[in-house]
Amino acid sequence: MPVRQSFCYPLFQVEGLSLNDLFREAADIGYAATELWGWDETLDDLAEAVHHNGLVLASMCGHASLPDGLNRRENHDRIETELRVSIDKAADLGVPGLICFSGNRNPDQSDAEGLAECVRGLRRIAPYAEEKGVNLNVELLNSRVDHPGYQCDRTDWGLALCEAVDSPRVKLLFDVYHMQIMEGDVIRNLRRIGARLGHVHTAGNPGRHDLDDDQELNYRGVCRALAAMGYPYFVGHEFMAKGDRLAALRTAFEVCA
């Protein structure tokens, strides 16, 4: 069974094409879902357009502030409150996973101490996520190019976090582009994550563009490996198209099919 594919719709909006038309085009290509980053009071209208075209909302951010995240104890009250609201909305709309962020490193805090604070913060909200059936996907991001200082920048660190929280609803968002920059060995690391894998993002490296022959990743092989693992969630395309956005969506779908 091939992987189910999604796309981050804000990156693929086309001038003169309504969201409803974009979702219809994506569904015709074969996409199963779309996703967004932050959400607001317009989410219900967006979800209606998504569902009208036979798609699912696959993912959205669960709390504010990527750099100022779970690794600071003073953020835990705020993040728990934000995640409770997001979990309720996700459960209502059938969104399987919410993105969470470790935050950037604190110069007065070791990586082990940052890990312990993230564990503490996630343990506060994990039971509610379990009750509502929503995954909390902590995103792995590169700290070399795009997000200097970000703490959850290695597979080992992310796995240690999930294992310490020990909740079936606390998982990892493995962004292939970001982890190719940090450590490579993508397929082996995906297999190591196994059941802790809650979402996957794609983009070509270098450049964060199309999944074409000008970049170094073999996304056909990556997606075949995910399918062989029985990975049950979505592979979401999160790249900046170099040209026609619908054509790029079509090519990405064919590469990963």
- Model confidence over 65-122: pLDDT tens digits? 999 999 999 999 999 999 999 999 999 999 999 999 999 999 999 999 999 999 999 9
DSSP string, 135-201: EEEEEE--TTTTSTTBS--SHHHHHHHHHHH--TTEEEEEEHHHHHHHT--HHHHHHHHGGGEEEEE
Residues of the chain above pLDDT 90, percent = 100
- What is residue 241's predicted lDDT score, i.e. its pLDDT? 98
What is the DSSP code (8-state) at residue 104? B
Inter-residue long-range contacts of 241-249, CB under 8 Å, 24+ positions, other chains counted: 241/11, 241/12, 241/209, 241/210, 242/209, 242/210, 243/210, 245/11, 245/12, 245/13, 245/14, 246/12, 246/14, 246/25, 248/12, 248/210, 249/7, 249/12, 249/25, 249/26, 249/29, 249/31
Q: How confident is the prediction for the chain on average, in pLDDT?
A: 98
* Tens digit of each residue's pLDDT (9 = 90 or more) over 7-16: 999 999 999 9
Its domain, for residue 91, covers 4-256
- What is residue 143's predicted lDDT score, i.e. its pLDDT? 98
Domain count, the chain: 1
Using DSSP, state whether 5 is helix, strand or coil.
strand
Regarding pTM above 0.85, the answer is: yes
Q: Are 120 and 127 in contact (CB under 8 A)?
A: no
CATH code for the domain of 13: 3.20.20.150
* Confidence check: pLDDT of 1 > 90: no
Q: Are 219 and 78 in contact (CB under 8 A)?
A: no
